[in-house]
């Protein structure tokens, strides 16, 4: 028992681990809750694109600031909101299919970001941080910003719960109820951008989409109503964050990757074992009622 407590407590003797853990928890929960809408509305690709589109903004801030960490958050936030509004505008016009348009733009933005960062001297280390996160380098100031903006996103999810529910389940109903559908569409995209920005340091651009969709997808297999799905998703996000960080500490693997691997493993378990809807449950039902 004492050994177990020691196992849990020992990493917490490093302040950077404590800050990392708090950051990962905050990000894990916010991503998982907003992620339920990403899963239900099929916005995974869009979330991925948004994350990649932020890179050039971060790169410009990085070059101008000479590597200073402080202003980077605001550069990322500005780029993220502009990218969200831009993607929203693209998805309304019909000349090129939406996913094609998003693909073209986000690959281009990513390339621009990489090109800009590559002009700096310590390019490979910094690029790796942007792509895969650097949760152990989180400063107290970053934690405050993450907390404030994360709380704001969750507040909006809660306040407009019934509107987002109607809009996601039946857009025609939302239109006939005269809800401001376009406003809510853009609002959701901006919330997504803010969430991506606060998660950037924890998991990085490349693994962002996993934080958004994996806990939500797992929760969808395990629950029957949206409030329960959000709660279970948040739990899975938190668990993945904590277990992932300990895994990264003891197994000495990259922390963002460890968090995502834990979340993926939990999804795999649910996919196989979920009561009623998992692979195993369906096999059992099939054996009891063989198809004719």
Partner 1 sequence: MQTLLKQYHEHDAGAPSIAAEGLVVRYNGVRALDDVTFSVDPGERVAVVGPNGAGKSTLFKVIAGVLQLNGGRITLYGGSPERHICVAFVPQRTQVDLQFPVNVRDVVMMGRSGRLGLLRWPRRRDRRLVEECMALVNVSDLAERRIGELSGGQQQRVFIARALAQEAQLMLMDEPLNGLDVNSQEEIYGILDELRGRGVTVLVATHDLGQAARCFDRVMLLNRRLLGFGSPKDVFTPELLGQAYGDRLRMSELPDGALIWSDTCCNGGHD
User: What's the min distance (Å) between Cβ of 213 and partner 1?
Assistant: 14
Q: Which is closer to partner 1, CB of 191 or CB of 226?
A: 226
Nearest to 226 by CA among 162, 159, 154: 162
**Of 90, 13, 84, nearest in space to 54 by CA:** 84
Contact 202, 22 (CB under 8 A): no
* CB nearer partner 1, residue 224 or residue 292: 224
Nearer to partner 1, 178 or 287 (CB): 178
Query: What are residue 178's phi and psi, to 5 degrees?
Result: 60, 35
Shortest Å distance, C-beta 216 to partner 1: 10
**Which residues are near partner 1 by CB under 8 A?**
40, 159-160, 162-163, 165-166, 168-170, 172-173, 175-180, 183, 220, 223-226, 228-229
Rounded-to-integer distance, Cα 144 and Cα 232, Å: 25
CA 191/CA 197 separation, integer angstroms: 10
| Minimum gap (Å) between residue 40 Cβ and partner 1 | 6
Contact 199, 31 (CB under 8 A): yes
Rounded to the nearest whole angstrom, what is the least distance from the CB of residue 68 to partner 1 in the complex?
A: 39
Complex with partner 1: residue 65 or 180, whichever CB lies closer: 180
- Tell me the angle at which helices 55-64 and 44-53 cross, rounded to the nearest 10 degrees: 20
Instruction: Choose between 223 and 264: whose C-beta lies nearer to partner 1.
Output: 223
Residue 155 CB, shortest distance to partner 1, in Å, is 11
């Amino acid at each position: 028992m004492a050994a177990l407590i020691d196992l849990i407590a020992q990493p917490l003797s490093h302040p950077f681990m404590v800050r990392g853990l708090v950051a990962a928890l905050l990000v894990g929960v916010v991503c998982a809750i907003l992620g339920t809408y990403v899963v239900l509305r099929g916005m995974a690709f869009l979330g991925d694109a948004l994350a990649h589109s932020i890179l050039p903004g971060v790169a410009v801030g990085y070059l101008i600031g000479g590597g200073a960490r402080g202003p980077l958050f605001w550069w990322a936030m500005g780029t993220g909101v502009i990218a969200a509004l831009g993607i929203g505008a693209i998805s309304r016009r019909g000349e090129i299919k939406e996913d094609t348009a998003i693909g073209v733009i986000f690959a281009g933005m990513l390339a621009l970001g990489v090109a800009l960062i590559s002009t700096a001297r310590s390019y490979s280390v910094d690029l790796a941080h942007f792509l895969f996160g650097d949760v152990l380098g989180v400063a107290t100031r970053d934690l405050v910003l993450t907390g404030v903006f994360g709380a704001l996103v969750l507040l909006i999810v809660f306040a407009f719960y019934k509107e987002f529910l109607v809009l996601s389940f039946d857009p025609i109903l939302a239109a006939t109820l005269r809800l401001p559908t376009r406003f809510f569409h853009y609002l959701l995209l901006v919330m997504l951008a803010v969430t991506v920005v606060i998660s950037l340091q924890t998991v990085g651009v490349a693994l962002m989409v996993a934080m958004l969709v994996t806990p939500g997808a797992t929760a969808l297999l395990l629950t029957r109503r949206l409030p329960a799905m959000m709660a279970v998703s948040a739990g899975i996000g938190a668990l993945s964050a904590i277990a992932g960080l300990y895994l990264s500490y003891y197994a000495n693997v990259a922390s963002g990757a460890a968090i995502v691997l834990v979340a993926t493993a939990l999804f795999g378990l649910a996919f196989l074992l979920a009561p009623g809807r998992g692979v195993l449950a369906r096999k059992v039902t099939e054996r009891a009622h063989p198809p004719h």
